[in-house]
């Protein structure tokens, strides 16, 4: 039986696109109605949904609507891919152990929203990419797999960032494949 995958993205959706070209994605969700990820989903023929926290009385109601959407589509695995909201208790209690995240740093180094920039400004000689289970913390879940990315002497922030993203595009599908038992 094919497992059903949902991807959550808040912005560009490049990791979503990489996953959608390799796996049947049941749905894309974005918490930003203007996210480019929604356009990518339309072009790829992936059903997409978007609503924003401000549309609800509180975060619990927002997450309850997300849980209902995921349950309606019988989602087995949620892949966060640039989803810039901290997962709260309502969503976590329903999908813990079935929700993974990709982070553009070698955790536990540089958690949070600006992993690449934080690593760059810290002057590290290497950073990386981490795929981890989502828990109640910020980028604190059990690590599934990581890869290191060297900072080259000729790197600019932009070239370093591009190589980090390239590593993401290779690592995330590999992890998803393993979790689905396809490797």
Please pick, among 73, 103, 114, 121, the residue that the annotation labels catalytic: 103
Same structural domain for residues 46 and 130? no
Give the SS3 label for residue 91.
helix
- Quick one: 61 and 139 in the same domain? no
124 plus 67 within the same structural domain: no
Same domain flag for 63 and 8:
yes
pTM of the entire structure? 0.96
Query: Is 103 one of the annotated active-site residues of the chain?
Result: yes
Spatial distance between the Cα atoms of 43 and 18, rounded to a whole number of angstroms: 13
By the 10 Å C-beta count (0-12 exposed, 13-18 middle, 19+ buried), 160 is classed as buried
Instruction: State which of 46, 64, 95 marks the end of a domain.
Output: 95
Do residues 172 and 15 lie in contact, with contact meaning Cβ atoms separated by under 8 Å? yes
Which of 50, 71, 95 is where one domain is finished?
Answer: 95
Task: Please identify, among 95, 120, 139, the residue that sits at the C-terminal boundary of a domain.
Answer: 95
What are the tokens at 162? 């591009």
Pair (120, 59) in one structural domain = no
Q: One digit per residue, pLDDT tens: the chain, 183 residues?
A: 689 999 999 999 999 999 999 999 999 999 999 999 999 999 999 999 999 999 999 999 999 999 999 999 999 999 999 999 999 999 999 999 999 999 999 999 999 999 999 999 999 999 999 999 999 999 999 999 999 999 999 999 999 999 999 999 999 999 999 999 886
Same-domain check for residues 80 and 107: no
Q: List the CATH number of the domain containing 169.
A: 3.40.50.170
- Domain hosting residue 32, numbered range: 1-95
- Please state the domain count of the chain: 2
């Amino acid at each position: 039986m094919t497992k059903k995958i949902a991807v959550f993205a808040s912005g560009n959706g490049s990791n979503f696109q990489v996953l959608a070209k390799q796996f049947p994605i049941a749905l894309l969700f974005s918490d930003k109605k203007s996210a480019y990820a929604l356009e990518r989903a339309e072009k790829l023929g992936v059903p997409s949904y978007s609503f924003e926290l401000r549309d609800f009385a509180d975060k619990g109601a927002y997450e309850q609507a997300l849980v209902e959407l995921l349950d309606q589509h019988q989602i087995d695995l949620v892949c966060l891919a640039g989803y810039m909201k901290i997962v709260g208790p309502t969503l976590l209690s329903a999908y813990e152990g079935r929700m993974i995240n990709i982070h553009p740093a070698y955790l536990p180094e540089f958690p949070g929203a600006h992993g690449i920039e934080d690593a760059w400004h810290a002057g590290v000689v290497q950073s990386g990419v981490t795929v981890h289970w989502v828990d109640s913390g910020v980028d604190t879940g059990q690590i599934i797999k990581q890869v290191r990315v060297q900072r080259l002497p000729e790197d600019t922030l932009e070239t370093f960032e591009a190589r980090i993203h390239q590593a993401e595009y290779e690592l995330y599908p590999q992890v998803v494949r393993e979790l689905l038992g396809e490797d």
